[in-house]
Amino acid sequence: MRQPAIPVALSTGSVYPESVEVGFRLAAELGYDGVELMVWNDPVSQDIPAVERLCRRYRVPVLAVHAPCLALTQRVWGTDPIERLRRSGEAAAVLGAGSVVVHPPFRWQRDYVRAFADTVEQVASDYRVALAVENMFPIRRAGLQAVPYAPSDDPTDVGHRYYTLDLSHTAAAGVDALALMEKMGDGLAHIHLTDGSGASKDEHLVPGRGSQPCAEVCERLVTDGFRGVVVIEISTRRARTRHDRTALLAESLLFARLNLQPAPAQLSGPVLAPPEPVVIPGTDRGR
């Protein structure tokens, strides 16, 4: 028997600057298995009943929720980061999503830094979802480097139950993606399948267009029996038309489908030797 295919979802952030609804529409048109809801400044992304209506309209489920952790979303669902984390867990539970993606806290969020690990565990327990802490990257300017996250941009330095591996972030951090995947081990619950060239910025390229081992990561997920969700999280903000944006999302989905193919079932049982030829008397021919 073939193992079930790993689901591939589209991050609604991948259609920026278009709306969350466009994310649902393109996910449906292109054949994605679902979406990862990026909760940010789009009012619909913050309105869970409105998101439920989009699920019904386009027949596309929310497979994951991305908590509002970006610098530009610090006032989404209030100013308390702990409350934002709880709201994200509640949203995932209501929408039937299995995981919540969350970034490590910023260094200046001192109370949140102290409470972060315990809050992640508590929210996961309260809402029965996997809170998967994402690997991040340092900021580099004019030859200087700073890590804005506490205690670091690598969540395995602390140790959490669940992790998100983002391949654009490994590129920006100059980190070996396969080695980090190994460190995350059985805690790897979520993948942002994207790419980067190794530049110091977060590029979110179409997988296969950068330097990251995207195909190898996919193959290892299949081999290891990964049970989470692979999410296409790319930047299409430079796409000039809806058609151009759709083409980038279609290419990304095709890359994921091709490289997440389950291996053919192996035949079992003894190997049979070919039969001995039957010699016809009076000839040197066999049949």
pLDDT digits (tens, 9 = 90+) for 138-196: 998 877 889 999 999 999 999 999 999 999 999 999 999 999 999 999 999 999 999 99
**Residue-range domains of the chain with CATH:** 8-259 (3.20.20.150)
Confidence of residue 70 (pLDDT cuts 50, 70, 90): confident
pLDDT digits (tens, 9 = 90+) for 83-94: 999 999 999 999
Residue 191 and residue 283: Cα distance in Å, rounded? 67
pLDDT digits (tens, 9 = 90+) for 106-151: 999 999 999 999 999 999 999 999 999 999 999 988 778 899 999 9
pLDDT exceeds 60 at position 285: no
The residues, any chain, with a CB within 8 Å of residue 73's CB and separated by 6 or more, are: 39, 40, 41
The residue among 60, 17, 63, 59 whose CA lies nearest residue 42 is 17
Virtual torsion, Cα 249, 167, 177, 220, nearest 10 deg: -30
What is the structure's pLDDT at 262?
A: 82
Contact in structure between 212 and 177 (CB atoms under 8 Å): yes
Share of the chain above pLDDT 70, in %: 90
Confidence of residue 247 (pLDDT cuts 50, 70, 90): very high
Residue 154 and residue 69: Cα distance in Å, rounded? 16
pLDDT exceeds 70 at position 282: no
pLDDT digits (tens, 9 = 90+) for 182-241: 999 999 999 999 999 999 899 999 999 999 999 999 999 999 999 999 999 999 999 999
The residue among 275, 277, 276 whose CA lies nearest residue 287 is 277
Host H or E run for residue 131:
strand 130-134
pLDDT exceeds 60 at position 281: no
What is the structure's pLDDT at 5?
A: 87
Share of the chain above pLDDT 90, in %: 84
What's the mean pLDDT when you consider all of the chain?
Answer: 91
Q: How far apart are the first and last CA of the chain?
A: 37
Residue 78 and residue 247: Cα distance in Å, rounded? 36
pLDDT exceeds 70 at position 272: no
Helix, strand or coil, per DSSP, at residue 90: helix
What is the structure's pLDDT at 170?
A: 98
